[in-house]
Amino acid sequence: MTTERIDAHQHFWQPSRGDYGWLTPELTTLYRPFAPDDLKPLREAAEIGRTVVVQAAPTIDETRYLLDLARDEPSIAGVVGWVPLDAPNAAESIRELARDPKFKGVRPMLQDLNDDRWIEQPELGAAIHALIDGDLSFDALIFTRHIPSIKRFAANFPALRIVVDHGAKPPIKEGVAAWQSWADGMEQLAALPQRLHCKLSGLATEAGPDWTPATLRPYVDHLIENFGPERLMWGSDWPVLNLNGDYARWSTAAHSLTERLGASAQQAIFGGTALAFYRL
């Protein structure tokens, strides 16, 4: 049986809501509303049935906004939201949001925090245990420099399901000079007994504007070698993708970069892994 195709990472937003601190008018390509009707023709052309919508603002209000969208939109399979994990009432907030069956996990915006070791603080314990108790997941939005902290975090919470967003944003534009530290770090994360997952997403954004599948191949191959298809899931990162590509271009490239693996492996990467990991 053919597995349903899932886009495991995309965003919807409405700038007039006012809580997207990073989304400024200078980002002309992105500074407008993006809604399910905008994505529909793109995902249908790529034969994507449903998507996982990921938070883009560090507020519970935005999470509720996404859950409201999901309630009336069958193409939204799940929502990864945001909760202030260090707040005294964080566990209560997680339990309240989890009453909605489409709430699948949380993502703190670690890449934007001043403290690279923020995720290690013991004050997060109650919130993380609430995620575990609710069978919810954790999206790690990180760069290479965060990998040591994520390793310690994963060791502290071995029952937590963790997925690394965007392959930890490899420094593709920096070339060979920056390759090794990223490659070593991803190998270390993949080897953890917790069996972390990883998203095959965001790579086009980290490349130069003239990227081709050949540009991305070493990074994709390294992720495949270390995580395997059963722990890799494809995501568009749309509409952020529009900064340096488009839905069809990235979808086509990802299929060409994984076709050597065969049909069953591609079914995992383009649907099966996300279905299992996010409990869709």
Q: Within a domain: residue 57?
A: yes
Above 90 in pLDDT, residue 183?
yes
| Structural domain for 136, as ranges | 6-277
pTM surpassing 0.85?
yes
- Indicate the number of domains in the chain: 1
1 found inside a domain:
no
Residue 31 has which token pair? 């500074």
Instruction: Tell me which DSSP letter residue 16 carries.
Output: G
One-letter identity of residue 113? L
Concatenate the DSSP letters of all residues of 8-57 into one string: EEE--B-GGG---TT--TT-TTTSS-B-HHHHHHHHHHTT--EEEEE--S
Sheet with 76-81: list strands edge to edge: 6-10, 50-54, 76-81, 103-106, 137-140, 161-164, 197-200, 232-234
Gap between the Cα atoms of 177 and 170, Å rounded: 12
Mean pLDDT of the chain: 96
Instruction: Check residue 179 and give its pLDDT.
Output: 93
Neighbours of 242 (CB within 10 A): 16
State residue 103 phi and psi, 5-degree precision.
-80, 115
Q: What are the phi and psi torsion angles at 155 (to 5°)?
A: -65, -35
pLDDT band at 176 (very low <50, low <70, confident <90, very high): confident
pLDDT of residue 178: 87
Query: CB of 114 within 8 A of CB of 146?
Result: no
- pLDDT tens for 245-268 read 999 999 999 999 999 999 999 999
Residue 169 falls inside a structural domain: yes
Q: Within 13 Å of residue 219, how many CA atoms lie on the same side as its CB?
A: 32
| pLDDT for 3 beyond 90 | no
Q: Is the pLDDT of residue 96 over 70?
A: yes
Q: What is the CATH number of the domain that holds 146?
A: 3.20.20.140
pLDDT in tens, 106-140: 999 999 998 999 999 999 999 999 999 999 999 99
Interval 174-183 mean pLDDT: 89
Q: Tens digits of per-residue pLDDT, 19-29? A: 999 999 999 99
pLDDT surpassing 80 at residue 2: no
Residue 266 lies in a domain: yes
* Percentage of the chain exceeding pLDDT 70: 100
- Give the single-character DSSP code of 141: -
Cα separation of 241 and 226, whole Å? 25
User: Per-residue pLDDT averaged across 197-223, rounded?
Assistant: 96
Where residue 181 falls among pLDDT bands split at 50, 70, 90?
very high
pLDDT at 1 over 70: no
Q: How does strand 103-106 pair with strand 232-234?
A: unpaired
Region 266-273: mean pLDDT is 98
